[in-house]
């Protein structure tokens, strides 16, 4: 893929309906959920250090006995953000949560807690991040250092076990430039080596540091009154269709990555359960006190601010694009502090306080606004639209009475109601009705809850020999929405799902609905992947952009006339 192609990709249809649905589901109550969130809610927009951007969960392709979990934070991190580059906040508790039972509870949790970015001794007497080439993580030329502790918290019933897996793991510095970080990959390898942990006979790998933002989206056009550059006016622009702009090109995120044996994650799960659900969260102390400047200068205060009190969740992210696109503004901030265990109770509430909120959420999920737009703007027929009015009928307070396929994808996981063909390494295989894709079935007290779900038993020879960017809809059972890989094109997958691509194999309805397969080429945003190639081994995320060479995509549009492909 040429640099020009990478810098001019379009994600015109990022209004992804499933994402909208998920967002509404997440916003079941006083607190909305979040996913693929780049400044998705008013409150978190002013707190980038705690803002989760994307969550990925997949069986490791080069280590199929393990699961890799990736959580990204700090959206739109500019590589040239000197002299005070972005860093993980020491006042934020970052967590990756795993439900192994299906009850919406984090039974396995990985906590990342960071030290302040420190300067010691004479290092505090310079404004520079480094005063010479940085060739190792303990190089004296590096003036700012940060490390972290990673803990594993396992909870079943009233029993909780907390294990400190390792402390003092270094965070590599930003990719500053060819003089400051001449061999950046070597610094990352050093951090990866420090992140190899042996515990209880298991090998766990962890990493935390700046990486390229793996998501792609044309924010500039979509949030310009929902314009789509690849379409003719009035949906597009008067000048005619053009290629889109990946507005995340050239930006980094700060990533948490952990690779854990599947057997370890499922050690306390119900017998024979292979499905896990996951989401990320970030929490801050409830109190922040700013010191008097006189005390700071006089040395009686250790810093300008002090945080104390219990942790309060301020960010939550499971399925992609949920809070960002689907949840209404009035619920966005609340969604970010809502626990998955509250999703279903709010969704089905009938009392005077929460009932109206639950009705709004159910309507938004089971009659998604994106679906209505697809129908009205593109003539895309919808399931459960008996009146042909571009609305799926919903029986309020009866879950899954409208778009039950969307309900299952986001809230319960998927079990096939009809045969479905996948492409495996051994050829095409037709899965019979009743096949569990990623719905937990072995536990008791299983409840609907918004999260990313993965069947850890679907791997290896069950995967397509060539991974499909359309995931399950492309016949690849190892892709989204069965977990989420870095290369899964979640925007197109969700658009197609809202248009009914998975309806026939997920619904028990007697309704006759036939998905028009021609829509696969029509609902194509023209962007096929990330601006940088992913790595083939842990942590898989691409090398972060370098400050010295950072150019924003729009510069290319100013220099070179671009037309739609």
User: Would the CA dihedral through 227, 230, 233, 237 be positive or negative?
Assistant: positive
| DSSP state at residue 415 | B
* pLDDT reported for residue 235: 67
Q: How does pLDDT run across 246-283, given as a tens digit for each residue?
A: 778 889 999 999 999 999 999 999 999 999 999 999 99
Lowest mean pLDDT across 337-341, 423-427, 451-455, 497-501:
337-341
User: Would the CA dihedral through 255, 80, 534, 38 be positive or negative?
Assistant: positive
Secondary structure class of 555 (helix, strand, coil): helix
More confident residue, 452 or 492: 452
Lowest mean pLDDT across 73-82, 175-184, 318-327, 423-432:
318-327
Q: How does pLDDT run across 548-557, given as a tens digit for each residue?
A: 987 765 554 5
Beta strands of 132-274 (E only): which ranges?
147-156, 159-170, 196-199, 202-212, 252-261
The tokens describing 394, both together, are: 């919903």
pLDDT band per the 50, 70, 90 thresholds, residue 2: very low
The residue-averaged pLDDT of 207-219 equals: 89
Report CA dihedral (473, 475, 478, 479) to the nearest 10 degrees.
-30
Q: What is the pTM of this model?
A: 0.88
Neighbour-count burial for 513-532, b at 16+ CB within 10 Å, e otherwise: eebeeebbeebbbbbebbbb
Annotated domain spans of the chain: 21-214+251-347, 355-522
Q: How far is CA 180 from the centre of its chain?
A: 31
Nearest 5°: phi and psi at 408?
-70, -40
Helices (H), 367-487: 369-378, 404-407
Evaluate if residue 517 carries a pLDDT over 60. yes
* pLDDT reported for residue 29: 33
The tokens describing 164, both together, are: 């400190």
Q: Which residue has the tokens 């001449």?
A: 182
Q: C-alpha distances in angstroms, 83 versus 78, 212, 549?
A: 12, 20, 16
Query: Where does residue 479 rank: exposed (0-12), middle (13-18), buried (19+ CB within 10 A)?
Result: buried
More confident residue, 119 or 38: 119
Alpha-carbon gap, residue 35 to 321, rounded angstroms: 5
Angle among Cα 58, 521, 378 to the nearest 5 degrees reads 110
* pLDDT reported for residue 4: 32
């Amino acid at each position: 893929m040429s640099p020009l192609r990478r810098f001019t990709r379009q994600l015109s249809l990022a209004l992804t309906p499933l994402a909208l649905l998920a967002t509404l589901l997440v916003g079941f109550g006083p607190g909305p959920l979040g996913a693929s969130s780049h400044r998705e809610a008013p409150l978190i927009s002013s707190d980038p250090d705690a803002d989760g951007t994307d969550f990925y969960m997949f069986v490791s392709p080069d280590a199929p006995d393990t699961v890799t979990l990736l959580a990204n934070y700090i959206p739109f991190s500019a590589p040239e953000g000197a002299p005070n580059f972005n860093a993980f906040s020491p006042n934020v508790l970052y967590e990756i949560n795993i439900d192994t039972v299906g009850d919406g509870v984090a039974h396995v949790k990985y906590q990342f807690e960071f030290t302040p970015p420190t300067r010691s001794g004479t290092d505090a007497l310079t404004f520079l991040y480094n005063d010479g080439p940085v060739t190792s993580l303990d190089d004296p030329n590096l003036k700012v250092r940060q490390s972290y502790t990673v803990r594993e918290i396992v909870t079943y019933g009233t029993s909780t076990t907390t294990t400190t897996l390792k402390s003092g793991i270094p965070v590599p510095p930003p990719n500053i430039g060819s003089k400051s970080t001449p061999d950046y990959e070597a610094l990352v390898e050093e951090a990866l080596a420090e992140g190899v942990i042996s515990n209880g006979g298991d090998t766990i790998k962890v990493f935390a540091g700046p990486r390229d933002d793996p998501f792609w989206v044309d924010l500039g056009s979509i949030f310009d009154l929902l314009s789509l550059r690849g379409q003719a006016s009035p949906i597009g622009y008067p000048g005619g269709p053009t290629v889109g702009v990946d507005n995340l090109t050239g930006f980094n995120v700060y990533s948490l990555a952990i690779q854990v044996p599947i057997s370890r994650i499922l050690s306390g799960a119900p017998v024979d359960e292979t499905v896990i659900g996951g989401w990320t969260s970030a929490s801050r102390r409830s109190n922040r006190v700013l010191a008097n400047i006189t005390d700071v200068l006089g040395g009686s205060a250790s810093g300008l601010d002090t945080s104390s009190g219990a942790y309060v969740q301020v960010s939550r992210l499971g399925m992609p694009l949920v809070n960002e696109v689907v949840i209404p503004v009035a619920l966005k901030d609340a969604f970010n502090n809502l626990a998955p265990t509250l999703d279903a109770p709010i969704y089905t509430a009938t009392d005077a306080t929460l009932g109206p909120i639950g009705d709004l959420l159910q309507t938004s999920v089971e009659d998604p606004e994106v679906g209505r737009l697809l129908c009205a703007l593109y003539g895309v027929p919808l399931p459960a639209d008996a009146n042909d009015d571009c609305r799926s009928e919903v029986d309020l307070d009866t879950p899954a009475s409208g778009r039950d396929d969307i309900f299952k994808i986001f809230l319960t996981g998927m079990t096939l109601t009809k045969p479905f063909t996948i492409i495996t390494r051994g050829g095409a295989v037709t899965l019979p009705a009743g096949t569990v894709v990623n719905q937990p079935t072995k536990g008791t007290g299983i409840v609907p809850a918004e999260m990313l779900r993965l069947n850890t038993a679907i791997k290896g020879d069950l995967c397509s020999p060539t991974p499909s960017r359309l995931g399950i809809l492309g016949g690849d059972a190892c892709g989204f929405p069965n977990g989420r890989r870095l290369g899964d094109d979640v925007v197109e997958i969700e658009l197609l799902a809202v248009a009914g691509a998975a309806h026939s194999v997920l619904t028990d309805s007697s309704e006759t609905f036939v998905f028009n397969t021609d829509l696969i080429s029509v609902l194509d945003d023209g962007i096929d992947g990330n601006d940088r190639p992913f790595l083939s081994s842990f942590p898989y995320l691409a090398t972060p952009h370098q400050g010295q060479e950072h150019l924003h995509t729009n510069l290319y549009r100013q220099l070179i006339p671009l037309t739609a492909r």
